[in-house]
Amino acid sequence: MRRSRLVGAAVGLWMLFVVLPAQAVLLRYTPKVGTISSYTVTTAIRNETTSESLPAPLLLQYSGTTRIRVKVLAQTSGGRKVQSSAAGGTVKRVIKGVGATTLKRPDSSLAAIYDDQAYLTQVVSTSTGRASGQSITADNTIYALGVIPFTAEEVKPGDTWTGEIQFPLLLEAPPSSFKATVRLLSVAPYKGRTCAKLRVTYNGDYAVDLSQTPQARARNAQGSSSGTVEGSVIAYYDYADSVWVDASGKVTTTGDATIEAPGRQSMTVSERSVANFKMTLVK
């Protein structure tokens, strides 16, 4: 008799979990002022360029790791003012048929306002340091906080929502608009925190004025690039402490560019870039 009661209780408990709906959560970005979070960001990029002026497609691969420090500076009427700083480091560049080169990445920083739905609403200031010798423009991972928007309502696992984000493909260029579709996959413990696991997909068109890049300005060159961007990201968000714990994904960019420089023939190229990245909270 006792065993049958235990079995009945166990079945009843199991049915309770099955019948009860998943708990709804309200995702908000409201970190405490003074909070500091540090991340390592690892990237691997494969870029293919084709042009009538090139005898064969130019294949380049970039790989490297950088450190990003995020500090919440103040609470404003529009949200949180946040300073994101990327410590330079190095990037390995491999040109197929040529060999490998180590490039220096300059430091960069961004001060911006994020509202409570994690949208980047205002860029307060940006800066890019200098690196001696061969260098590359600092990558725009310092904008990473503003690419996963939240919805105004409570959500539960399985819910999906959309938002429009502003993201610059070049640090010096105005941002482009992209559609972000977000799905809450689960709410569960992850690395000692209760996290919302989110899947985000992106798509949209872009148009960039290449004359705004440091390399173009140094050569008095003009140019433009346009194309499409699509990507997907899996991210873990500790919504109680308003901190991203992990994010990884792939972004594919396909487009055409035209470049003109004094004393040189104009060149039109087609590019396809596939970038894989992983961002991990370390502090």
pLDDT digits (tens, 9 = 90+) for 97-132: 889 999 888 888 889 999 999 999 998 988 877 654
| Alpha carbon of residue 218 to chain centroid | 28
Angle at 24 between CA 19 and CA 29, to 5 degrees: 165
Q: Give the tokens for residue 60.
A: 């380049």
Band of pLDDT at residue 72, cut at 50, 70 and 90: very high
DSSP 117: T
Report whether 257 contacts 224 (CB < 8 A).
Answer: yes
Band of pLDDT at residue 219, cut at 50, 70 and 90: confident
- Whose tokens are 């972004």? That residue is 251
Nearest to 109 by CA among 82, 75, 146: 82
Output phi, psi for 211, to 5 deg.
Answer: -65, -10
Q: Is 53 in a helix, a strand, or coil?
A: coil
Of residues 5 and 253, which shows the higher confidence score?
A: 253
Q: Give the tokens for residue 259.
A: 């470049």
pTM summary value = 0.84
